[in-house]
Structure 1
Amino acid sequence: MKNIYSLFGLLFISQLTFSQATLEGSIVDENNQSVLATVYLPQIEKGAVSDVNGKYLVTQIPNGNYTVIISALGYETLSFKLSFLKNETIAKHIVLKERAVEMEEVIISTPFHKLQSENVMKVERITTEQLTKNGAVNLSQGISNMAGVSTVSTGNGIGKPVIRGLSSNRVLTYTQGVRLENQQFGDEHGLGISGNGIESVEVIKGPASLLYGSDAIGGVLYLNPEGFATDNETEVDGTGSYFSNTKGFNSSIGAKTSGEKVKFLVRGSRASFSDYETGDEYRVTNTRYNEYDIKTGIRFQDKRLKSTLRYNYNRSNIGIPEEIGAQNTSKELLLPFQEIDNHILSLDNTLFLNNSSLDIKTGYLFNDRREFEESADEAALRLKLNTFTYDVKYNLPELGHFTTIVGVQGMLQDNKNFGEEILIPNAKKVDFGVFATTHLHLKDWDFQGGLRLDTRKIKTEDARNPQDEDFIPSIDKDYNSFNVALGAKYNFSETFTGRLNLASGFRAPNLAELTSNGVHEGTNRYEIGNPDLNNEQSFQTDLAFEYRSEHFEAFANGFYNTINNYIFISPTGDVIEDNRVFNYVQNGAKLFGGEIGFHLHPHPLDWLHWESSYETVIGELKEGGNLPLIPANTLNNTIRLELNDGGFLKSPYSFITLENIFAQNNASEFETTTKGYNLLSLGFGATVKWNKIEFNWGVNATNITNESFINHLSRLKADEILNPGRSINFNLGFTL
């Protein structure tokens, strides 16, 4: 590591600059009326809001070429590049065109920080504010409403993302700019992240190994933390939500203050839920859970350095449902239950050089997972996972129309057991990857490509007594992979765009697949690992078309993903301790499908929005049979009303959503088929301003008809336990 930093320092120290520039001007509409708009430079995370006269001013801009984003509600989002040299002042007069669609946002999960319409790779994005409006209990449940994204769930408390049929270690989660490591190999292991203090969620669908290395074979869930206050501003806000189905609540309060160079924020959250009630009006015993969460951050930024330190502590106490028993609304956990502590510390430094920049991100994560089975006083299973990650990127000076990034990424990880029960052995893991990616922008074409080389080393210790049948011998394995990604975007016209992306990806086998030897709780399986497993290696083709006019948008996305050495479990025919024995084996697999949809907001009824989407995915093994955990086909229709301000009500809205989930008859060998069902939801809300306090309130109802259903990706499906029934939810927030 020391040599890496020294190399970057020697190469680029001569480019350090101490100059700064200023951007100023005015923003008006086509009728020359001033517009309240945001001016934002995403690479340096600086911006300003225009005043009542449309005037704006952004100071302390480092030397270099930066994208400038101009956005305002009800207007088309603009994006253009400017070169800032020495101490110059650039004056830019902006004219915005009216447009009745939502404002475009900058995509952070891809390397070049562009608007979605400018990206070569298609990325889905949703704000956590919108998830709350839709009635989501938590983050994992909320993202399942995005096209192509589902959730493997164990009640309300445990959920993890499924992207186009791939989940667990095949989907990588990023938070605070670092990869989340929390024993994610298990279906019964949730994210361990509170949605409070998360500003938005981005989803990359398909292999993203070029950007993130191993475990991104299926895609990436990228969680953007809330931003700091604007310069010389102080803000206090709070939110509270109540959910009738679980008699649960989720509350949060935060404060942030910013000077011109130093910014600070802190947020504390608390959530508590009792057992959920099904459409058949029984409660699913021990699906209750409690959560405590603290997030804080501090940033220093001047003309040559931006440094951000963030910390997140999350304590989750989660019941593990086994059978239908006590029927009450107590929030006190029953045995068995999990108690999990997650600590995430990240440091993000950007050094602004002469027309280039150096990004250095480091992270330390500590996951303490405890499972209590027979007693609440002593954990039967306890795993402590220490992870250090680093990510160093150099953004080269632009060469013509080429923007290029080179970098190295790595991870050092140590896993230790402290309980009597052993799920996986003590182990150490070392990752290292080096990559380069470039983007070429032409008039109607955009091209993006890259290469990456990765290595992963896994070394474990012996576990249990060598004389016992469940002895786990140590392993010392090395995995290597070379991956490539190529993509192109073509603007057929101002309204019609096409994208084609080709990408390979890989995943090294996880510790459970390599070393298991015992009963996997909750599955009634005795699992035996295979130390001879190879990398999973995938190649995916994505083809996407998008039409965007002033009052109508439509999209069609298709994909075909082939995976060599796909890892899955297979029965041996043996029985140990009344449990069937399964081995981990490998074979080829393929997944294909896609999403189509449209968004209609007809003129002159610009306040009316009709959004519709359909998604499908099919997963098959090369040797025959279906892949497990493939979500059912889904049709989603939403009608939204976003009205103009009226009296004391600001930004009033309402919506109604009908989700049609079709029967899933293509089940794997170890699954049952699932019947189709329909879910109806609705909600409304608005903003009320009183003096300097802004109140946001909303009411929504999910599963209004109290449908009795079982989701195909529910881990309680094997016991024919239903998913949640009707819930009436209330949200109230304030900002001052």
Structure 2
Amino acid sequence: MATILIHELGSGDYADENGHFELNNLNPGNYHLHISHLGYKSITQTVHLENKDLEFNWVMEPSAITLQSLTIEANPFKNGPVEQSQTIDVIDRNFIEKNNSGTFSNALAKLPGISTINTGVGISKPVIRGMSSNRIQVNDRGIKQEGQQWGADHGLEIDPFDVDRVEIVKGPASLIYGSDGMSGVINISPAPLPMEGEIRGHLINSYQTNNAMRSHSAMVEGNEDGFIFKGRVTFQDYQDYRVPADEFTYAGYVLPVYDNRLKNTAGKERHFSFMTGIRKNWGKSTLTVSRFGQQAGLFTGAVGIPSSYNLRHNGDYSNIELPNQDNSHLKIISNTTIQLNKNWLEIDLAYQRNVRQENSLPHAHGINSSEYGNLALGLYLDTYTANLRYNRQVNEKQQVIIGFQSSLMNNDFSGFEFLLPEFQSKSAGIFYFHEYRVKENFILNAGLRLDIAQHQIESHSQPIYNSSGEATGNEILRNPEIDRNYSNLSGSTGFSWIFSRKSNLKFNLGSSYRIPTPIELATNGIHHGNFRHELGNSSLESERSFQGDLNYTYSKENILIGISPYFAYYNNYIYLSPTAEFSTLPGAGTLWEYRQNNAIFAGGEIKFHWSISPALQSTIAAEYVYNQNLDTSLPLPLTPPASILTGIEWKLPLETFWLDNNTLYVEYRQVAAQNRVDRNERVTEGYGLLEAGLGLEFQLGKQMLKLRISGQNLLNEYYFNHLSRYRLLNLPEQGRNFNINLKIPFQIKNQ
């Protein structure tokens, strides 16, 4: 059945078998309706209601392309993907469950233009068009996630089971979202809540063979008389993971990999979230509290050079030894939408507490003992956020958004190691965005944004230790006091031209900015999760970019073709680059430093989806990133190589009274060698990965069950991910893995 959802209220109705539906008790005003039905293109419609009954008629177009049935929920104008001038990909819970391999970021990597930076199995973060960390903004329920995202070994603190729908904006998005949206934005949105009178939920259990990852997640949600709620709890435990190798080379040493397992790569995770709120005809208001908790071992070679003895297992592959990470992320988010006259005011408020503790033995750092025990580095980040957006429908052709965003961050640290000093950061921005529908098939948009920011970074001196590991009483200045103020103006314009029912051309041109982060200005220490000494630069200036993004889509009932080329010029591009020097700090290895040069980025994505028959579908997705440092005439470091993903999915003819909706898929990803590297950066050979899976839905008594069985790296390929931190230790990626997932949906109360 079709679902009709009022975006502003989060309420709606199901159409009956004849397509009829009713939406009652609505105040006069402007509303955005989203109509969706599996097997049909979604419809997004703006309606203006007065004090009288209105009747609407829509005809949905059939489409065999599954993702065309999804609507855009988190974009500023609440309209559809066709009307937006930027390139936007939308995925839902089914896509995430099919591609879940332990982390949320790894599921996103199935989309063209997106890859991941991995540290082992449990830690990963997304990369959009060759950029990551502070050039990608992740928004959870409208709030920017702040969690020391500058670290390549700092994964995204998101429960992979608590993500229902994701919208990925590719290209410059600083105008609406702020400084960190230079390369793209990942919007995580909750799924539409149950209709009035519904209470439902599900249980998910999964197991992965490579590292014996056991995942359990339970969710329940409901809607009773306008009172809405949703709760989830998740447990994940995994062992040391297997690689198709029995030895590796590091710093001139040939060292064993016992039992084909990387010692101390086990971990465990404990997450929970709870949302409650009200939904009335004047709007809606929700309060969400969530906590992400993770303890993950770091390969024994992360500190110093491992010996053969230290690499031998003690028989317990689940044991988390030193060194390790202990991370938690608490979020308290308030989302309120209020109708003002005929328009809407959105208010998002949040508090976040991110705790990141890296533990290690002091003697591995040249220190006999420490008042901090085994705490090498503790980072404690508190963030307060306030966002306001006023959405005004000027007339049938024009709508405007005026927005304000602000944040306050306080960072403290502890431990016997130094990496990032104490700091306080303040930022505020205002923006104006205007959309004008020139014709029914031609939409223009443009906007401006003004931002101010301040970094106040404390100086830090560290004791000097003698050769016996004892403090000498002298200190060395690791970073000076820094007080910097910034102001920036950015803007963008674009259009979407729907020049036929099958073709859509988009273009977006923007100038965006990014201020240097405290880590880029002031770091000076060993980042053991990355196996290197990182050095900041207090003279860094703001980045400025000029970016053009083109997108062409051809779509009919059984074919979808998308081409998305882009080009960007960066003035004062900030990046972390390897030097030819070794650090003087004990066990540090190579010195990497933050530099600033002019650079260009170019590339694109191509996707092709063909529904050969109602039971057989094929997909091809390719991506390429090219960049160049214009000052050194060399590529920028850590650039993802080109890749192509081909897949085929077959709906099995196994439908019976107890077996339904069964699919078999096979995918093959070919990744090219990466020979375009920066000075002192290693090249990486190409590789190919084979994956296959089976999805079954069956009835057991009155209970519906959903079973997924999949296998990754089925050929047990020995390969290196160019973006993996473990590549620096000559350690290959995870070997063959099988995943089994059982989902048990349940209905406590029907509408």
TM-score, structure 1 as length reference: 0.91
1:256 is displaced (CA, Å) by 1.2
Cα distance between partner residues in 1 of 2:529 and 2:47: 57
Structure 1 range deviating more: 575-584 or 499-508? 575-584
Matches within 5 A, 1:274-293: 274-280=239-245, 282-293=260-271
Cα distance between partner residues in 1 of 2:583 and 2:722: 27
Q: Aligned AA for 2:718?
A: S
1:166 is displaced (CA, Å) by 0.8
Pair 1:371-2:379 in alignment: no
1:377 is displaced (CA, Å) by 6.2
Partner of 1:455: 452
1:671 is displaced (CA, Å) by 2.0
Matches within 5 A, 1:219-618: 219-280=184-245, 282-323=260-301, 325-327=311-313, 330-374=317-361, 378-441=374-437, 442-464=439-461, 468-569=475-576, 571=579, 573=581, 575-577=583-585, 579-602=589-612, 605-618=613-626
Q: Aligned AA for 1:505?
A: S
Contact 1:253–1:269 (8 Å) recurs in 2: yes
**SS class of match (1:396):** strand
Cα distance between partner residues in 2 of 1:573 and 1:371: 25
Cα distance between partner residues in 2 of 1:113 and 1:396: 12
Structure 1 range deviating more: 208-217 or 404-413? 208-217
Q: Aligned AA for 1:405?
A: I
Cα distance between partner residues in 1 of 2:242 and 2:405: 45
Among 673, 689, 703, the residue aligned to 1:693: 703
1:169 is displaced (CA, Å) by 1.1
1:725 is displaced (CA, Å) by 1.0
**SS class of match (1:142):** helix
**SS class of match (1:513):** helix
User: Deviations for 1:74-100, whole angstroms, at most 9, x for unmatched residues?
Assistant: 2333333321123x3323344434332
Cα distance between partner residues in 1 of 2:700 and 2:117: 42
Pair 1:185-2:150 in alignment: yes
Contact 2:478–2:524 (8 Å) recurs in 1: yes
1:189 is displaced (CA, Å) by 0.9
Pair 1:100-2:100 in alignment: no
Q: Aligned AA for 1:338?
A: Q
**SS class of match (2:521):** helix
1:260 is displaced (CA, Å) by 3.0
Cα distance between partner residues in 1 of 2:700 and 2:282: 41
1:73 is displaced (CA, Å) by 1.8
1:519 is displaced (CA, Å) by 2.5
The total of aligned residue pairs comes to 698
Contact 1:174–1:222 (8 Å) recurs in 2: yes
Cα distance between partner residues in 2 of 1:654 and 1:692: 25
Cα distance between partner residues in 2 of 1:320 and 1:205: 32
User: Deviations for 1:137-176, whole angstroms, at most 9, x for unmatched residues?
Assistant: 2211111111000111111111111111111111111112
Pair 1:657-2:674 in alignment: no
Pair 1:139-2:104 in alignment: yes
Cα distance between partner residues in 2 of 1:66 and 1:691: 42
Matches within 5 A, 1:612-651: 612-623=620-631, 624-642=633-651, 645-651=655-661
Runs of at least 5 residues in structure 2 that lack an aligned partner in the other structure = 247-259, 363-371, 464-473, 747-751
User: Deviations for 1:182-204, whole angstroms, at most 9, x for unmatched residues?
Assistant: 11111111111111121022211
Cα distance between partner residues in 2 of 1:610 and 1:193: 31
Cα distance between partner residues in 1 of 2:373 and 2:53: 65
* Change over 3 Å in CA distance of 1:484–1:666 after alignment to 2: same
Cα distance between partner residues in 2 of 1:178 and 1:131: 21
* Change over 3 Å in CA distance of 1:688–1:105 after alignment to 2: same
Contact 2:547–2:567 (8 Å) recurs in 1: yes
1:329 is displaced (CA, Å) by 5.9
Contact 2:103–2:123 (8 Å) recurs in 1: no
Cα distance between partner residues in 2 of 1:391 and 1:707: 47
Cα distance between partner residues in 2 of 1:424 and 1:93: 59
1:699 is displaced (CA, Å) by 0.7
Cα distance between partner residues in 2 of 1:583 and 1:94: 58
1:479 is displaced (CA, Å) by 1.3
1:456 is displaced (CA, Å) by 1.0
**SS class of match (1:380):** strand
Q: Aligned AA for 1:487?
A: G
* Change over 3 Å in CA distance of 1:139–1:425 after alignment to 2: same
Among 702, 705, 723, the residue aligned to 1:713: 723
Runs of at least 5 residues in structure 1 that lack an aligned partner in the other structure = 1-35
Contact 1:290–1:317 (8 Å) recurs in 2: yes
User: Deviations for 1:174-228, whole angstroms, at most 9, x for unmatched residues?
Assistant: 1122000111111111111111121022211122110111111121122223443
Cα distance between partner residues in 2 of 1:91 and 1:193: 42
1:643 is displaced (CA, Å) by 5.2
Contact 1:305–1:349 (8 Å) recurs in 2: yes
* Change over 3 Å in CA distance of 1:652–1:526 after alignment to 2: closer
* Change over 3 Å in CA distance of 1:523–1:253 after alignment to 2: closer
User: Deviations for 1:422-463, whole angstroms, at most 9, x for unmatched residues?
Assistant: 221111000100001011122220111110001110002221
Contact 2:65–2:609 (8 Å) recurs in 1: no
Pair 1:672-2:658 in alignment: no
Partner of 1:123: 88
Cα distance between partner residues in 2 of 1:713 and 1:573: 22
Work out the percentage of aligned pairs sharing the same amino acid: 29
Partner of 2:466: none
Cα distance between partner residues in 2 of 1:448 and 1:660: 38
* Change over 3 Å in CA distance of 1:575–1:705 after alignment to 2: closer
TM superposition outliers: structure 1 runs of 4+ over 6 Å? none
Structure 1 range deviating more: 639-648 or 212-221? 639-648
1:118 is displaced (CA, Å) by 2.7
1:465 is displaced (CA, Å) by 5.1
**SS class of match (1:232):** coil
Partner of 1:684: 694
Contact 1:337–1:373 (8 Å) recurs in 2: yes
* Change over 3 Å in CA distance of 1:54–1:283 after alignment to 2: same
* Change over 3 Å in CA distance of 1:722–1:419 after alignment to 2: same
Q: Aligned AA for 1:298?
A: T
Cα distance between partner residues in 1 of 2:593 and 2:745: 55
* Change over 3 Å in CA distance of 1:696–1:581 after alignment to 2: closer
1:378 is displaced (CA, Å) by 4.1
Partner of 1:89: 53
1:397 is displaced (CA, Å) by 3.1
Cα distance between partner residues in 2 of 1:76 and 1:461: 54
Structure 1 range deviating more: 215-224 or 683-692? 683-692
* Change over 3 Å in CA distance of 1:58–1:258 after alignment to 2: same
Give the CA RMSD over aligned residues.
Answer: 2.0
Structure 1 range deviating more: 50-59 or 350-359? 50-59
* Change over 3 Å in CA distance of 1:572–1:733 after alignment to 2: closer
